[in-house]
Structure 1
């Protein structure tokens, strides 16, 4: 039964059937062949019960924050300021890709949105200044992955819902690893630039006055971050309430910058509706699939398979890493998380690993999936904006940043407190 489930899942994925539809089809096929119970009779109850989760409301609100900030020009302003502060480093403008991704991630919560926004701004500028498009585009794709690690993160919210883990603690856990990963990305850029100076192009020169004034213009973004995240940690708001406050703050930023209009807000709402519909359909379909798998006993089969291997805690963790890395090459990131968490998370928790810590680790593994072929979503997003050359240029350019993610995973395994220090203070 387990083998049949895996085969059906891969066949449907290869047939490019939408992920949510794939999960529903898999659930019904398994139910038809292995159970006398008509699962379709329970579908409505399962979907409705899980869609009532109050925390899920935070997802469309965080998406809307990102959509508003994209349309009001905040992302472009953040990029130019990061260029002023970071372009003196070896690698020049490439560091601005990473720095701007950090800033936008702290307000967006979506990797795809971060990659799409920063690539739209960065690629024309990099092309104009003569940067090597491979590593330049690879840095944009890699920087976009920070969107699901640095809070607020939609993926961390979904992880918290599926594993019943505190979302404020997950947000706190993502801060230090997210900033550390950004620093590793910058270090990788410096190393690549020293080894091969030709990847860098011309560098704009800025005086200190321009840099300081630029920091003041970023104050609205910093304020938005502290309003959203600070209200959660101060106990003034739940993540959902903080997201609603964040929407109001984003509207205020747009209005203060004289870029708010009914047409702009309507476009932002429609964009967030499209994104939210996709996310929620996948999440609810995975809930139904997990209901079927649990009823048929497949989850227990997988747990028995792991138990029968007699692996140590570290060996179990490394095997889970390998599963995520391999599956991440073929399955879209959100789908990968919602498919695997109900099965693999209990196995990892049974070995004594911390739920919050594992949440950060899972996000980093999923980040790898965003920039590893053949289904690295950020690679295709950046290539779609680039509109020329081969996507293999971006794949090769992103590889050094994949190595940086492996380094961060090693650090987290050896020093779990890197992720747990802030949550333990909350």
Structure 2
């Protein structure tokens, strides 16, 4: 649940790009390596937990090489679609919007060829796409309504002067902003936070000379950390609804190692910005 918004295609990156007038393609590429890094951190966390407590991950049924090969081949078409869409953006063959059309078209074609796509499934997928698009548009409309208020109230200027008065330096100010996102993430939905806070914090980031693409990756990761942080980690309550017999405290204790893994990943991304920037910079060079 915390990887979906970081690994492209990501609605969080789309909203961030529109609100800050950044390149969606650059943000998508910037999320690839951090997403893989976070995935590796989760795998390492699970490995350590199962090494300490083998009961956490009991052995599953044995499978043959042939069975494994068939399953991997079954996943190959979707992997090809991902590589073509992301690779097409990276190679400059098409824009992110065109890549979305190419990806959707290939998946529809695959469903038709394999006879797994029914008319009902296509209709439901179309409705979901319309709902998602309308939701994003409503969020952006709200953002444009808030911006004039912020400009007239001079809130961004006041916040910028306050952060400058801390004299914490570039990295120190960045960490203060990320801490604010982490705290807000415990109570607010991620997209709402972007709409409310980016008009305030983004001018400060620009004045500090921080790369907006790098900052976007850090913000998205921090938002996801908030979704599993107490007292109101939204993802934790979703898990609770799926497993109602499990105590809420047990779920929060269960996510703690992964929260620490996300903290470690965030620290690495702050220390080494090129992990986020190498792919987008290569694409535009």
- The TM-score bracket by the shorter chain reads over 0.9
**Aligned equivalents of 1:355, 1:271: Cα separation in 2:** 31
**Aligned equivalents of 1:250, 1:405: Cα separation in 2:** 32
Alignment of 1:234-383 (within 5 A): 234-383=91-240
**Aligned equivalents of 2:261, 2:236: Cα separation in 1:** 17
Q: CA deviation at 1:222?
A: 1.0
1:422 corresponds, among 272, 279, 284, to 279
Q: CA deviation at 1:305?
A: 1.7
Alignment of 1:147-162 (within 5 A): 147-162=4-19
Alignment of 1:6-155 (within 5 A): 144-155=1-12
**Aligned equivalents of 1:365, 1:419: Cα separation in 2:** 14
1:200 corresponds, among 31, 40, 57, to 57
Higher relative contact order (CA 8 A, sep 6+): 2
Q: CA deviation at 1:237?
A: 1.6
1:181 corresponds, among 28, 33, 38, to 38
Instruction: Say whether the 8 Å CA contact 1:170–1:423 is kept in structure 2.
Output: yes
Q: Which ranges in structure 2 are unaligned for 5 or more consecutive residues?
A: none
Alignment of 1:218-229 (within 5 A): 218-229=75-86
**Aligned equivalents of 1:423, 1:271: Cα separation in 2:** 30
Q: Does 1:394 align with 2:265?
A: no
Q: Which ranges in structure 1 are unaligned for 5 or more consecutive residues?
A: 1-143
Q: Secondary structure at the match of 2:31?
A: helix
Q: CA deviation at 1:184?
A: 0.4
Instruction: Say whether the 8 Å CA contact 2:30–2:280 is kept in structure 1.
Output: yes
Change (3 A) 1:188 1:335: same
Instruction: Say whether the 8 Å CA contact 2:6–2:221 is kept in structure 1.
Output: yes
Q: CA deviation at 1:290?
A: 1.9
Q: Superposition RMSD on alpha carbons, in Å? A: 1.7
Instruction: Say whether the 8 Å CA contact 2:30–2:213 is kept in structure 1.
Output: yes
Change (3 A) 1:254 1:391: farther
Q: Secondary structure at the match of 1:353?
A: coil
**Aligned equivalents of 1:392, 1:269: Cα separation in 2:** 38
Q: Does 1:232 align with 2:232?
A: no
**Aligned equivalents of 1:270, 1:300: Cα separation in 2:** 42
Q: Secondary structure at the match of 1:188?
A: helix
Instruction: Say whether the 8 Å CA contact 2:15–2:136 is kept in structure 1.
Output: no
Instruction: Say whether the 8 Å CA contact 1:332–1:369 is kept in structure 2.
Output: no
Instruction: Say whether the 8 Å CA contact 1:185–1:401 is kept in structure 2.
Output: yes
**Aligned equivalents of 2:272, 2:123: Cα separation in 1:** 46
Q: CA deviation at 1:256?
A: 2.8
Change (3 A) 1:287 1:388: farther
Q: Could you state the TM-score of these two structures normalised by the residue count of structure 2?
A: 0.93
Q: Secondary structure at the match of 1:259?
A: coil
Q: CA deviation at 1:200?
A: 2.0
Instruction: Say whether the 8 Å CA contact 1:332–1:376 is kept in structure 2.
Output: no
Question: For 1:346-401, what per-residue CA distance to the aligned partner results, in whole angstroms no more than 9, with x for missing partners?
Answer: 21222121111111111110110221233323223333233432233222211111
